[in-house]
Structure 1
Amino acid sequence: MTLIRLNHYIAQAGIASRRAADTLIGQGRVKVDDKVVKAMGVKINPSTQKVSVLHEKSKVWKEIEEVKEKITYVFYKPRGYTTTLKGQRGEKTIAEFLPKNARLFPVGRLDKDSEGLLLLTNNGELALTLTHPRTHVEKTYHVWCRIPKEYTENAVESQLGRVRGGVKLDGIMTKPMRINIVGIKRGAVDLEITLTEGRNRQIRRVLGKINLEVTRLIRTKIGTLTLKEFNLQPGELYQLPADYTYE
């Protein structure tokens, strides 16, 4: 019989971090075998016991399903597809590229107009590690922009200097970002941008503040994982080995 701490089990399922799971337990929002558990340090047997969590908004108890085999895919998300498994009628989603009946969810998001590296997994703890603000996992993007024709390289560099340290989006400052010019010609510039956060359409909105219009955006790197390493084409998947080490 293999026992696991209740907060660890909740984290593995991708519901919350271990610390946040402790908060859920303390609030009486976790049941084990239909009984509310508030004590810390409780251990369970996932093979024989049922764990449910009370959803804050819907006020519905949802049972956690045990993940028997942890699977993670590297995916090249094509442009024009939403990073969801169930979209609106007629909407193209990444679900059409995934194995049938696979219980996977995306780690982070890329907006519909963006493309590139995306992780898909059933490993909730991995997803939390890679997306939690406290871990500062870097994500790198190659970004093509349309710029005013009168902008010289010095002018572009000057404008980029205004946003590298962060700008306000929705009243909250973004974290500093690395932005390097890859190439420039009249009316266009290529950039490499590295972030440690992923707010909604962040790069497009930040660059828009300095009159740079994004025409193409590809995520090329997450942590140490690179798109080039796996030589993927848009829409292709690669399953990572079970012993793959994330840094």
Structure 2
Amino acid sequence: MERLQKVIAQAGITSRRKAETMITEGKVKVNGQVVRELGVKVNPNKDEIEVEGVPIDKEEPVYYLMYKPQGVISSVKDEKGRKVVTDFLEIEQRVFPIGRLDYDTSGLILLTNDGEFANQLMHPKFKIDKVYVAKVKGIPARESLKKLQHGVVLEDGKTAPAKVKLVSMDKKKQTAIVQLTIHEGRNRQVRRMFEAIGHPVMKLKREQYSFLNLRSMNPGDVRPLKPIEVKHLRELAVTKPS
């Protein structure tokens, strides 16, 4: 017997946290009866579970790494009909992205149907590094880069300390390439951080997620994560200090 919200998450419907909300809102049925209590336990192999009227099928968990191209939505559908990350996968399982990359941002994103796994990786207490490379307007001074390193104040609070490296500069075009490593995941955070120091982002790419990178991949490429990679990510999400 397992908690209802855990079974829903493992079926790839949503994260455990969102599953709890759906239960309390009366959107989940077990054996035809609406369940609103979070403590309910079910047998995923025997009990019939419906989420918003749709029966759930417990799928085999799958894990993918994608090189998201610029101009693609980090979602499973888009009301405006734009391309989404799941358009690049031809698989039977219903997968969803772990976290988000902006429409205009390219780079590494993970997809899975394992809601529990996704929830672990996205939890703010597990400080998983993400490495971004940004092309910015102007050439940031050393003091500006130090501000990024120590944290800058945004409208939703001060950012955590970051690792910053000036990769290159073009004095003629007045642009620079800067590598930024953060572990937070606020909305459009990297772009807002550079705006805060007066150097708007012209182009942005996430090159690394923890130990994973985009080596030998092109925009639009997708590959399954190796079992050892999934194991390592699980270990990071469980053991990394808060």
- 1:91-113 Cα shifts (integer Å, max 9, x gaps): 23323312155411011111111
State the shift of 1:185 in Å: 3.2
Question: Runs of 5+ in structure 2 lacking a partner?
Answer: 237-242
Kept in 1: contact 2:86–2:95 (CA 8 A): no
Structure 2 length normalisation: TM-score? 0.80
**Is residue 178 of structure 2 the alignment partner of residue 191 of structure 1?**
yes
**Aligned pairs, number:** 226
**Is residue 57 of structure 2 the alignment partner of residue 66 of structure 1?**
yes
Partner of 2:147: 162
Structure 1 length normalisation: TM-score? 0.79
Larger Rg: 1
Question: Runs of 5+ in structure 1 lacking a partner?
Answer: 54-60
State the shift of 1:73 in Å: 0.9
TM alignment of 1:45-84, pairs within 5 A? 45-52=43-50, 61=52, 65-84=56-75
Q: How high is the sequence identity, in percent, across the aligned residues?
A: 33
Separation in 2, partners of 1:141, 1:95: 22
After superposition, the Cα gap between the structure-2 partners of 1:4 and 1:90, relative to the gap in structure 1 and judged at 3 Å, is closer
Partner of 1:57: none
After superposition, the Cα gap between the structure-2 partners of 1:62 and 1:242, relative to the gap in structure 1 and judged at 3 Å, is farther
Partner of 2:16: 16
Larger mean Cα displacement after TM superposition, 210-219 or 90-99:
90-99
Partner of 1:236: 221
Separation in 2, partners of 1:188, 1:167: 21
Of residues 152, 161, 164, the one that matches 1:176 is 161
Of residues 82, 85, 103, the one that matches 1:94 is 85
1:114 partner letter: T
Separation in 2, partners of 1:39, 1:128: 17
- 1:68-118 Cα shifts (integer Å, max 9, x gaps): 211111100011212122224452332331215541101111111110101
C-alpha root-mean-square deviation of aligned residues, in Å?
2.7
